[in-house]
Amino acid sequence: MQRRLPVFAALALALAAAAPTAAAQTFAITNAHIVTPGPVGEVENGTVIVRDGRIAAAGSGVAVPTGMRTIDARGAMVTPGLIAVNTALGLLEVSSVDGSVDNKTHNSGISASFDVQYGLNPASTLIPIARLGGVTHAVVMPDYDDSEKERELPFAGKAALISLGEGANILHRPGVGMMLELGEDGAARVGGSRAAEFVQLRQIFDLARQAPRDEYPFELSQADIAALKPVLAGTMPLIVVVHRAADIQQVLKLARDYRLKIILSGAEEAWRVADEIAAARVPVLINPTSNIPSNFDMLGASLQNASILKAAGVEIAIGGNDAGHRVREMRYNAGLAVSRGLPYAAGIEALTLAPARIFGVADQMGSIAAGKAADIVIWDGDPLEPLTQPTAIFIAGKEQPMTSRATELGKRYMR
């Protein structure tokens, strides 16, 4: 699993020579060690046929059409592109520079209606850096700006799915979820107690179900109420950041009462109520390395969270180590979960098909399968290992540059 392939310099040249037309997105990858969730599964010596940016066929015994450009993977591992969750990619450049951060607002008039799709910056240097970690898509989520202490702010706003492919339009799908943080930090925004928080949430959902009014309590605007309509209709998932087991149980009850489609995020103590989460068919976005009892909401934080949840039948997606700069580490986090008992295939799935399913795009991405976009990464080893690097990355069949601002800086100073 630790083979390194010098072949891709030649590959890059071959592809760079081709014009950026649809023809460039038609090729075959041969001698591929395919590792993908879905029916294709693991194929030691397989072939992937890409036509016009889509996967036309994949597996063993797939014939390469005569004259089709061929990339010989020489046995290297080939996986679907990784789909990051819990990110602010495209909304963030330097964390401490407010003017370069667009994933949150302290505007009291915008809560649920906050919409990340309007703040995206395709030129962000974070995008190529995440991409060099094999990340081809990301769920971009709003966060809270707590600098306005008096602000009552239940919802952070609407998330979007973006492509990390080179180009001017990175928005793949807006409105893939509504962000809500509960627990200690969420309670702090609505008066300091979760006992108040759940009462207020129920009040807001009841109001949103009723006929429109001129004014709403809790600093909610008409736009905010309108933004909650798809959540109450069950067409937009409510992404709930929550940590403590007891809070998770309250969220599950809230979801039952209002028939909400929910996704748990953070969920450090989810392992303690894994069976209940599984029974509710609620997926969970986690960082398996989050095992610090950072506050009284997550005293039970454990490296075993991922494996226990998976064993209970919970769908999990694994994220990186922050919202932007360290998204590329998501694959190591999956590796860590595997070292603590998560089956290897589940580790790969938690980076690819699971997030695609959770955010409703599994028909388009997340696995190497005929009909899906050719979001493909070729690796020089096991992608969950830090010693491994991608050697070629395709997004919708388009080969991506293997450079970033960081690699360019390194090159400048190396002799």
Partner 1 sequence: MTYLPSDNNPSPRGHRLARALLLGTGLALLAGCSAAASSARPADAPPPPAAPAAAVPEPFASTYAPRPSADTAIVGASILTGTGTRIDNGTVLMAAGKIVAVGADIAVPAGARVIDGRGKWVTPGIIDAHSHLGVFAAPGVQGHADGNENIDPYTAHVWAEHSIWPQDPVFTKARAGGVTSLLILPGSANLFGGRGVSVKNVPAVTVQQMKFPGAPYTLKMACGENPKGRYGSRGRAPATRMGEVAGFRRAWIDAAEYGRKVDAYEKKRARGEAGEAPKRDLGLETLAGVLKGDILVQNHCYRADEMAVMLDVGHEFGYKTRAFHHAVEAYKIADLLAKEDVCVATWATRWGFKMEAYDAIEENAAILTKAGVCVAIHSDEQRLVQRLNVESAVALAAGRRAGIDIPQEEAIKWITLNPAKMMGVADRTGSLEPGKMADVVLWSKNPFSVYAIAEKVFIDGALILDTSDPATRYRSDFEIGQPVGEE
Q: Does the protein bind partner 1 through residue 7 (CB under 8 A)?
A: no
26 versus 305: smaller Cβ distance to partner 1: 305
49: DSSP letter: E
121 versus 291: smaller Cβ distance to partner 1: 291
Residues 6+ apart with CB under 8 A from 372: 54, 55, 363, 364, 365, 366
β-strand partners of 87: 140
**CA-CA-CA-CA dihedral for 73, 77, 78, 83, to nearest 10:** -150
Q: Does the protein bind partner 1 through residue 293 (CB under 8 A)?
A: yes
95 versus 222: smaller Cβ distance to partner 1: 95
Phi, psi angle pair for 284, to nearest 5°? -135, 130
Q: Does the protein bind partner 1 through residue 193 (CB under 8 A)?
A: no
- Quick one: which of 141, 227, 248, 338 contacts partner 1 (CB under 8 A)? 338
Please tell me the distance from the alpha carbon of residue 24 to that of residue 246, in angstroms, as a whole number.
Answer: 53
Chain-centroid distance, C-alpha 295: 25
Pick the stretch among 58-66, 226-234, 326-334, 369-377 that binds partner 1 (CB under 8 A). 326-334
67: DSSP letter: T
Pick the stretch among 11-19, 105-113, 219-227, 404-412 that binds partner 1 (CB under 8 A). 404-412
Q: How many helices (H) and strands (E) does the chain have?
A: 12, 16
Pick the stretch among 15-23, 41-49, 83-91, 94-102 that binds partner 1 (CB under 8 A). 94-102
Residues 6+ apart with CB under 8 A from 344: 338, 384
Q: Which of residues 28-67 bind partner 1 (CB under 8 A)?
A: none
| Amino acid occupying residue 3 | R
Q: Does the protein bind partner 1 through residue 189 (CB under 8 A)?
A: no
Q: Does the protein bind partner 1 through residue 145 (CB under 8 A)?
A: no
25 versus 404: smaller Cβ distance to partner 1: 404
Tokens of 412: 């400048």
DSSP code string of 275-334:
HHHHHTT--EEE-TT-----STT-TT--TTHHHHHHHTT--EEE--SSSSTTGGGHHHHH
Please tell me the distance from the alpha carbon of residue 225 to that of residue 358, in angstroms, as a whole number.
Answer: 24
71 versus 270: smaller Cβ distance to partner 1: 270
DSSP code string of 338-349:
HHTT--HHHHHH
Please tell me the distance from the alpha carbon of residue 5 to that of residue 27, in angstroms, as a whole number.
Answer: 19
Q: Does the protein bind partner 1 through residue 17 (CB under 8 A)?
A: no
Pick the stretch among 41-49, 226-234, 324-332, 350-358 that binds partner 1 (CB under 8 A). 324-332
108 versus 339: smaller Cβ distance to partner 1: 339
Rg of the Cα trace of the chain?
22
Q: How many other β-carbons are positioned within 10 Å of the β-carbon of residue 45?
A: 13
Shortest Å, Cβ 337 to partner 1: 10
- Quick one: which of 9, 16, 22, 299 contacts partner 1 (CB under 8 A)? 299
- 307 and 337 Cβ atoms separated by less than 8 Å: yes
| Amino acid occupying residue 128 | P
Shortest Å, Cβ 224 to partner 1: 31
Q: Does the protein bind partner 1 through residue 86 (CB under 8 A)?
A: no
Q: Does the protein bind partner 1 through residue 199 (CB under 8 A)?
A: no
- Quick one: which of 135, 178, 228, 301 contacts partner 1 (CB under 8 A)? 301
Pick the stretch among 91-99, 172-180, 187-195, 357-365 that binds partner 1 (CB under 8 A). 91-99
184 versus 224: smaller Cβ distance to partner 1: 184
- Quick one: which of 65, 98, 339, 343 contacts partner 1 (CB under 8 A)? 339
CB-facing half-sphere around the CA of 347: CA atoms within 13 A: 21
Question: Which residue ranges make up the site for partner 1 (CB under 8 A)?
Answer: 4, 93-97, 126, 245, 269, 271-272, 289-296, 299-305, 321, 324-326, 328-329, 332, 335-336, 338-340, 384-389, 406-407, 409-411, 413-414
